[in-house]
Structure 1
Amino acid sequence: MIDTGMAFDAPAYLFSKINTAACALKPDAGLCLAAFQRYYYDTVEKRCKVFTWGGCGGVVPFETLEACKSCECNK
């Protein structure tokens, strides 16, 4: 089981499938004007990259670099 920090724990196999899907997501800053540092996995360069998220909407594949780096383990 993986401790998700939520009210329930998720089986490791489920977490890895969700995470693998997130590895293919392309980032989208959204329409708001805040500036939060977030991460995505570049499938061409095979590494995590940072992008600036506006704070609402858009697509945020990963909130932390550590979460993004799990994609590198699934190459």
Structure 2
Amino acid sequence: MSPTCWRTWNYGSVRNLLTEWRATAASEAFLGALAPDAATRSRVAACRTAARLRLSAVYALRPRWRPLAVALFEDVLTEGG
């Protein structure tokens, strides 16, 4: 997967929750333990995109986090999905 897929996790780093390396490791461990079939694995990117769009909508309603909402939304747009 492209490095931009992990950008969603990096927003947790705004509050120093996860480094990029730990977020990547956690995601890979989760998918590895889940052992999804090919059809499920093919939907992971779409699910991440949908989650990022939902988060941007929620953050847009909170003045303190509005810049984060804009960044999330712009990232989704520049990635093309």
Give TM-score, length-normalised by structure 2: 0.30
Give TM-score, length-normalised by structure 1: 0.31
Q: Which has the higher contact order (CA 8 A, sep 6+)?
A: 1
Task: Decide which structure has greater helix share.
Answer: 2
Task: Decide which structure has greater strand share.
Answer: 1
